[in-house]
Amino acid sequence: MRQMRFLHFSSGLIAGFVNFLYPSACPSCSMPTDNLSFSPFCTQCWTSMKKYSGPSCSVCGLPLVSDYADRCRSCLADPPAFCRTSSFGIYDATLASAIHHYKFLGLRRLAGPLAHLLMFYDTAGIDAIIPVPLAHDGLKDRGFNQSLLLAYTLAKKKRLPLIMDILRKVENTAPQVGLSAKERTANVRKAFVCIGRVPDMNILLIDDVMTTGATVNACAERLLAAGARSVSVLTLARAGIL
Ligand SMILES: [Zn+2]
Ligand SMILES: [Zn+2]
């Protein structure tokens, strides 16, 4: 315990020194960064991110207004290929900012702390973890697949196999922003292929953000066609709601 306190103390000192040399402010509260673990976010903002615990659709994870409903209208009318969705939180405030910095501003070092937020998930019964893939062009532009880094860390911590070479994105779909749910589904349906089999496996599919679910649904359809017994979805944040 004493050693941990010392490490925390010295990490704070180093963070203070680094911040003195290269000043950076927390994107959420503008206070100086006080740590190296999830810099540039400050400890208070990062640790204030709490798991969403309100009622939500048991299939797609959409937050619901009633504690007594189990599924949203959309999942009742047109059940998706995946059977269950869990997200750490709502795409808002510090969580949205952290994902933005990780994904679009290239702060790859946030992969570890963000993956840590996914540790709440009970992986009992899961046989393997698969990340939502990026098309070649997307990978070239970003330099890394944000879902793969999350999935890699989670698989390691949960001691589960990571399958990263079976599900592929073959077509560069147009940006999803501004499209309706139907247009999104049509846009992504053809974009994924499975080049191997996942016979009788319960798969946990990882993505950073879930909006309409069109992307994970297209992936789940392919995985089920490749022999999967079930596909569950785990994301950092649920967006496009409220
Ligand atoms: Zn802050
Ligand atoms: Zn639903």
Contact (Cβ atoms closer than 8 angstroms) between residue 116 and residue 47: no
CA of 41 to the centre of ligand 1 (A): 5
CA of 98 to the centre of ligand 1 (A): 11
Closest ligand to C-alpha of residue 98 is: 1
Report residue 79 as tokens: 């059940």
Helix spans in 64-179 (H) = 73-77, 93-103, 111-116, 136-142, 146-158
Closest ligand to C-alpha of residue 69 is: 2
CA of 94 to the centre of ligand 1 (A): 8
CA of 227 to the centre of ligand 1 (A): 45
CA of 62 to the centre of ligand 2 (A): 6
CA of 123 to the centre of ligand 1 (A): 31
Contact (Cβ atoms closer than 8 angstroms) between residue 85 and residue 231: no
Boundaries of every domain in the chain = 1-48, 52-238
Which of 1.10.357, 3.40.50, 1.10.3470, 3.10.20 is the CATH number of 52-238? 3.40.50
CA of 54 to the centre of ligand 1 (A): 25
Contact (Cβ atoms closer than 8 angstroms) between residue 50 and residue 60: no
Closest ligand to C-alpha of residue 76 is: 2
Closest ligand to C-alpha of residue 210 is: 2
- CA distance readout (Å), 191 to 46, 72, 186, 242: 35, 26, 10, 28
CA of 43 to the centre of ligand 2 (A): 34
pLDDT by 10s per residue, the chain, length 242: 455 455 455 555 665 555 555 558 999 999 998 988 899 999 999 999 999 988 999 999 998 877 777 899 999 999 999 999 999 999 999 999 999 999 999 899 999 999 999 999 999 999 999 999 998 887 888 888 999 999 999 999 999 999 999 999 987 666 667 777 677 677 788 889 999 999 999 999 999 999 889 899 999 999 999 999 999 999 999 986 55
CA of 75 to the centre of ligand 2 (A): 4
